[in-house]
Amino acid sequence: MALTAIFFYLFSTLALASGAAVIVAKNPVHAVLFLILAFFNAAGLFILLNAEFLAMLLIIVYVGAVAVLFLFVVMMLDVDFAELRAGFIKNAPVGLLVGGVVLAELIALLGARVIAPTPASSVASPIPQGVTNTEALGQILYTKYIYFFQGAGLVLLVAMVGAIVLTLRHKEGVKRQSIAAQVARGPKTAVELVKVKPGQGL
Amino acid sequence: MSSETITLLWEYGLWLAITVGLSLLVLVGLLLCVAFLLLMDRKVWAAVQMRRGPNVVGPFGLFQSFADLLKFVFKEAVIPAGADKGVFLLAPLVTATCALAAWAVIPMNKDGWGTWVISDLNVGVLYLLAISSLGVYGVIMGGWASNSKYPFMGALRSAAQMISYEVSLGFVVITVLLIVGSLNLATVVTAQTAGIGTWLGLPSSALDWHWLPLLPMFVVFFISSLAETNRPPFDLVEAESELVAGFMVEYSSTPYLLFMLGEYVAITTMCALATILFLGGWLPPVDIWPLNAVPGIFWFAAKVVFMFFMFAMAKAMVPRYRYDQLMRLGWKVFLPLSLVMVVVVAGVLQILRSA
Amino acid sequence: MPETTSFAAALPEIILAAGAMGLLMLGAFGFSDGEKSDRAGWTAILILFAAGVALLGQTGTERVFNDAFISDPFARFVKLLVLAGSATAILLSFDDLRRAKADRYELPVLILLATVGMLMMVSAGDLLALYLGLELQSLALYVLAAFRRDDVRSSEAGMKYFVLGALSSGMLLYGASLLYGFSGTTSFAGLAQAASAPGAATNLGLIAGLVFLLVGLAFKISAVPFHMWTPDVYEGAPTPVTAFFAAAPKLAAMALLARVLFDGFGGLFVQWQKIVIFIAIASMLLGAFAAIGQTNIKRLMAYSSIGHVGFALVGVAAGSAAGIEGLLIYLAIYLVMTLGAFACILAMRRENGPVEEIDELAGLAETNLPMAFILAMLLLSLAGVPPLAGFFAKFYVFAAAMKAELYGLAIIGMLTSVVSLFYYLRIVKVMFFDDAKPGFSATAPYVRFVMIAAGLFVLLYAVYPAPLVEAATAAAKSLSL
């Protein structure tokens, strides 16, 4: 248990610190790198909760794919840092206020949990005995929560269709490679044999 | 200090010592193997191109890799003036660390002592996928931090390429997992003791391994792992004819060495993963004496070397892809194919199970 | 293990979702290039129709997927309206988008998917289902707003809608997580239990969660003070899409709001009633006064829709069966009026493109008397002039408010109706008494059809209101009041 506690504090401290660094970092690329570090620590916390499947998924999906694209975009953007920072300072009080309210509410939530432990005891789907949590997740995801699963699938489909609708342009006059056509081409269509008489040329 | 605390510390200390010891053992063994695999790589290309390859340092050039190591380490590390120094130096470290970290979950043998692995993780396959997807960060960070055009182009290419192929790689792994029903790598291997061969009444043999029922997926996996590790014919990240050396243009000395090391370790990891998923891990080709008397680690190593040989042959023989061809192959060929296979495999399994 | 029978309750949604995916494949591979969007549009209408038929086949109350999906008369009433609204929006889109060279087959697909989201919202019995439905709908709407991607205003509309919509989704999710934290459940039934438990009224977290949830939903129905996006989005989005925005999604979000408040938080009625009354009054006031200065008819319609949301909320605030009944009738009549009005706006088109300024309607009575007449009638109905349909809509909600002793609310509602009459009448004056401008070019047949149908409904509703009232009465009973 002591070891778990040590790791918990390690991961949470690092997560909080890198979360703060995301906002404070001057360079947006550094900010994204800190964000990735925060993801890592969150994954570590998941592992401490014995939710290793979620931890791995967090790394594969968020760190391995989402954050890469994020980094991709940030690197290519030409952001004026001075301007950005001016806006940051101007809006800081509002941000602090909102953050403060959210924090207060979370603390209230925590207090209520300590006072009334009922919510914690009414877990919708407790992990059955003798099953790894990956299996437990699989058992309810496609049965009990099939509706949500399919709904989420539709949301992703809309996102994909939307991205394509808004960005795909078929340019006219672009030559595209058709590998099937290339492979299907035989000597009859590809080569023309011409008998050239001497001295006449083509 | 109370006696309880002492026992606690003793237990943790022992656990820590064992883990560190095992890790060091695997690490050293792995690095030695990589040194010789690198040499083998060069020898194979040389043989294909009818050259001799490195043959000066040591007998048959056996110590060539160590000579290279010394050469790189003793050179001066040049950091470009415009580079983002922290990220620039972090990038090779990330590459090398991620590549090495993958080996924590790779089981190399199973015998009376248990599974030969540092951490027998429940979600070993996912861990490997996660770690291999991190390899891209070294490349992107290196490319960006160099503050130079060619490295950046290389980084952009690699980001798109590695993410694209990760998708089909993931689906291929899913087909295997569907058959096995576990995400634990050792279970994946032991599940391959029975299969098509035993169903036909033969003894447990190479016919039981997953490569046979999942042959198309094995091919997709092999090609995708070439792309995932930026190996030829998909080495557009460092396409020297277009980008000089891609994201590694500005690197020299030890950072460069770490990049190279990370790359080769990642390739070895992919070979090991292919061995575990499709080639029956440490299982002997036929489960009869004397083959099954040979320690499993030997079979495991032999299969990894075989896979590595395939990687080297691909590099030696296949010309480099153009970028649009690479993307087409990943998104329009492999992704639909592996998606369909996931459905087919799941369907077949369901039918077999209900029959 | 899931019961296979449970899927039957969600048949309309399944038909729509499968239809949308099939249409996507047809669009990508099936249709020939020339008339892709037309065929896709008609197929989509057919799919909506099929879903409607499946919907009509359902009876009784069914709770499936662990209470996440509720199919009851209330849901079916609203769903039918939503389906009709979506189908009409597609009908209106044919001509306009072709002329704008934005006729792509994805539009009907996105409308279908948005409709699935709306149906999910209407049937939601769980916070997760609520969020997924809402997000499915909103995401499709963001894209639709920016559908004319080469048009700066359209892109801007999409961007604004997206950013503010994402913000509101965030608030909603935050509220939902608070609610989950304090009640330990996401299903409305469980929340209702927590909300009626002793001490719920002083449970800060529960109420804070409810408030955030309400804020998120108020964003989606564009109620004041979360309405800022509406005028810009209405103005920037392509007109058929605006017609769609103003009609179906509003209905679905209102129904969702009513469902959450009554089924989930009946026990906290005293608490949320104050909020709803405030939102209703603010929306009615803003809808009435801000619309006065508008010169663009789409912006005007945006403010008008804000006002109408306020009126509809009066029915919710009443908190009685009569209030819900009023709300449902209001929504049905509002749907018809809005779609009719937008059909008229779509008909405002000259040789060199569509026009949107109110001044362009000058002297319409001389150049096109039928259209002027229908538009005038629709506008007067929106204002609530008897004996047009809009009057009855307002009558029901105000009557419910009076019965619930919310006299102040009802009086403010009536006063704002009078104010709004001013700007609607101004358009009528422009059409009938100002000097004529050149006539509009010929109207597409479907647009004309929608116009006439809406006009007839508005005019003749008073003659035979029974079916709608009866259906609404039956539907209102299924919410727990």
Say yes or no: A108 contacts chain C, CB-CB below 8 A. Answer: yes
pLDDT value of residue C207: 84
CATH of domain A1-81: 1.20.120.1200
Q: Report the C-alpha gap between B311 and B234 in whole angstroms.
A: 12
> Each residue of B155-167: pLDDT tens digit?
888 878 888 888 8
Instruction: Tell me the pLDDT tens digit for each residue of C272-294.
Output: 888 999 999 999 999 888 888 88
Strands B114-115 and C62-64: unpaired
Task: Choose between B133 and C394: higher pLDDT.
Answer: C394
pLDDT band with cut points at 50, 70 and 90 for residue C3 = very low
Q: A194-200 contacts: CB < 8 A, separation 24 or more?
A: none
Q: CB A60 to CB B129 under 8 A?
A: yes
* Torsional class of C59: left (φ above 0), alpha (ψ -120 to 50), beta (otherwise): beta
H or E element: which one contains B115? strand B114-115
Q: Is the pLDDT reported for residue B22 higher than 90?
A: no
DSSP secondary structure string, A51-104?
-HHHHHHIIIIIIIIIHHHHHHHHHH----HHHHHHHHHHHHHHHHHHHHHHHH
DSSP SS3 for B233: coil
In terms of CA atoms, which chain C residue is nearest residue A149? C132
Q: Which helix (H) or strand (E) holds B114?
A: strand B114-115
Contacts with C116 from chain A: Cβ below 8 Å:
154
**Vertex C36 angle, CA C31 and C41, to 5°:** 110
Looking at residue C1, its pLDDT comes to 41
**How many Å apart are CA B318 and CA C451, to the nearest integer?**
66
The mean pLDDT of B296-311, rounded to a whole number, is: 90
CA geometry: angle B128, B132, B138, nearest 5 deg:
145
Q: Rounded to a whole number, what is the distance in Å from the CA of C24 to chain A's nearest CA?
A: 9
Question: In whole angstroms, how far apart are CA A70 and each of A8, B139, B237, C161, C247?
Answer: 28, 15, 19, 22, 36
Comparing alpha-carbon positions, the chain C residue that sits nearest to A125 is C185
Residues C145 and C157: beta-carbon distance below 8 Å:
yes
Average pLDDT over residues C453-477: 88
DSSP-derived letter for residue B104 is G
**Top-ranked range on mean pLDDT: pick from B54-58, C332-336, C472-476:** C332-336
Please, which contacts does B244-248 make with residues 24 or more away whose CB atoms are closer than 8 Å?
B244/B150, B245/B150, B245/B154, B246/B143, B246/B150, B246/B151, B246/B153, B246/B154, B246/B155, B246/B157, B246/B158, B247/B139, B247/B140, B247/B142, B247/B143, B247/B146, B247/B151, B247/B154, B247/B155, B247/B158, B248/B142, B248/B151, B248/B154
Structure-block tokens of residue C477: 């009973």
Interface pTM (ipTM) of the complex?
Answer: 0.89
Token pair in block for residue B137:
């960060």
Closest CA to B311 of B212, B226, B211, B219: B226
Contact C262, C478 (CB under 8 A): no
Q: Do the Cβ atoms of A162 and C143 come within 8 Å?
A: yes
Cβ neighbourhood burial of B297 (10 Å; 0-12, 13-18, 19+): middle
Weakest mean pLDDT among A86-95, A141-150, B311-320: A86-95
The tokens for C422 are: 């001013």
Please report the pLDDT score of residue C15 as a whole number: 92
| pLDDT number for residue B341 | 92
Chain C contact for A104 (CB, 8 A cutoff): no
- The residues, any chain, with a CB within 8 Å of residue B270's CB and separated by 6 or more, are B132, B225, B228, B229, B307
In this predicted structure, the answer to whether residue A113 has a pLDDT above a threshold of 70 is: no
Residues 6+ apart with CB under 8 A from C386: C462
Residue among A101, A105, A141, A147 with most chain C CBs within 10 A, to mutate? A147
3-state secondary structure chain C: CCCHHHHHHHHHHHHHHHHHHHHHHHHHHHCCCCCHHHHHHHHHHHHHHHHHHHHHCCCCCEEECCCCEEECHHHHHHHHHHHHHHHHHHHHHHHHHHHCCCCCCHHHHHHHHHHHHHHHHHCECEHHHHHHHHHHHHHHHHHHHCCCCCCHHHHHHHHHHHHHHHHHHHHHHHHHHHHHHHHCCCEHHHHHHHHHCCCHHHCHHHHHHHHHHHHHHHHHCCCCCCCCHHHHHHHHCCHHHHHHHHHHHHHHHHHHHHHHHHHHHHHHHHHHHHHHHHHHHHHHHHHHHCCCCCCEHHHHHHHHHHHHHHHHHHHHHHCCHHHHHHHHHHHHHHHHHHHHHHHHHHHCEECCEECCEHHHHCCHHHHCHHHHHHHHHHHHHHHCCCCCHHHHHHHHHHHHHHHCCCHHHHHHHHHHHHHHHHHHHHHHHHHHHCCCCCCCCCCCHHHHHHHHHHHHHHHHHHHCCHHHHHHHHHHHCCCCC
- Give the model's pLDDT for residue C308: 92
How confident is the model at residue A111, as a pLDDT?
Answer: 66
Residues of A in contact with B156 (CB under 8 A): 72, 76
Domain boundaries, chain A: 1-81, 131-167
Interchain contact, A56 vs B123, CB within 8 Å: yes
Amino acid at B181: G
> Could you tell me if B110 and B116 are in contact, meaning their C-beta atoms sit under 8 angstroms apart?
yes
> pLDDT-based confidence at B222, cuts 50/70/90?
very high
Is 80 exceeded by the pLDDT of residue C37? no
With tokens 């009509």, the residue in question is C56
Confidence of residue C2 (pLDDT cuts 50, 70, 90): very low
Q: How many Cβ pairs within 8 Å bridge chains A and C?
A: 95
Mean pLDDT, rounded, for B241-248 = 73
Cβ separation of B144 and A75 shorter than 8 Å? yes
Q: Which residue has the tokens 């996102």?
A: A159
Q: How large is the average pLDDT for residues B220-224?
A: 92
Return the pLDDT at B181. Answer: 84
Dist CA C414 CA C417 (whole Å)? 5
Give CA–CA dist C12/C17, Å, rounded. 9
Task: For residues B167 and A65, give the distance between their C-alpha atoms in angstroms, rounded to a whole number.
Answer: 10
Confidence of residue C334 (pLDDT cuts 50, 70, 90): very high
Task: Provide mean pLDDT across the span A12-38.
Answer: 88
Q: How far is CA B50 from CA B42, B233, C469, in A?
A: 12, 20, 91
Among chain A residues, CA nearest to B15? A3
* Number of neighbouring beta carbons within 10 Å of residue B227: 24
Per-residue pLDDT reduced to its tens digit, B259-290:
888 889 999 999 999 999 998 888 888 878 78
Q: Closest Cα of chain B to A63: distance in Å?
A: 7
Residues 305-334 of C with CB under 8 A from A: none
Q: Quote the tokens at residue C224.
A: 């004041």
Given a cut of 80, whether residue A79 has pLDDT beyond it is no
Minimal CA separation from A195 to chain C, in Å = 44
Provide, as residue numbers in chain A, all residues whose Cβ is less than 8 Å from the Cβ of B159: 68-69, 71-72
- Cross-chain residue pair A33–B87, CB shorter than 8 Å: yes
C 5-34 residues with CB < 8 A to A: 10, 17, 21, 24
Q: How far apart are CA C426 and CA C433, in angstroms?
A: 10
CA C81 vs CA A110, A114, C71, C181: distances in Å: 43, 46, 15, 35
Indicate the pLDDT class of residue B221, thresholds 50, 70 and 90.
very high
Q: Do C21 and A165 touch (CB under 8 A)?
A: no
Contacts of C13 (CB under 8 A, 6+ apart): C51, C116, C119, C120, C123
Which candidate, C314, C330, C313, places its Cα nearest to that of C408? Answer: C314
pTM for the structure as a whole: 0.86
- B54/B63 Cα distance (integer angstroms): 9
- Residue A83 pLDDT: 67
**Whether C174 and A152 lie within 8 Å, measured CB to CB:** no
Average pLDDT, chain C: 87
C-alpha to C-alpha distance for B302 and C189, rounded to whole angstroms: 61
* CA–CA dist C252, C182 (Å, integer): 27
Of A27, A29, A53, A33, the residue nearest B134 (C-alpha): A33
pLDDT tens-place string over residues B100-132: 988 888 888 887 777 778 888 888 888 888 888
Classify B313 as helix, strand or coil: helix
Of A147, A159, A161, Cβ closest to residue C109 = A161
Cis peptide before C387 (omega within 30 of 0): yes
- Output A2-10 pairs: Cβ under 8 A, ≥24 positions apart: A2/B8, A2/B12, A3/B12, A4/A48, A7/A44, A7/A48, A8/A45, A8/A48, A10/A44
pLDDT of A116 over the 60 cut? no
Return the structure tokens found at B352: 């077999």
Mean pLDDT computed over B73-95: 86
Residue of A nearest to B324 (CA): A177
**What distance in Å separates residue C159's CA from the closest CA in chain A?**
12
Q: Which residues of A touch B126 (CB under 8 A)?
A: 53, 56-57, 60
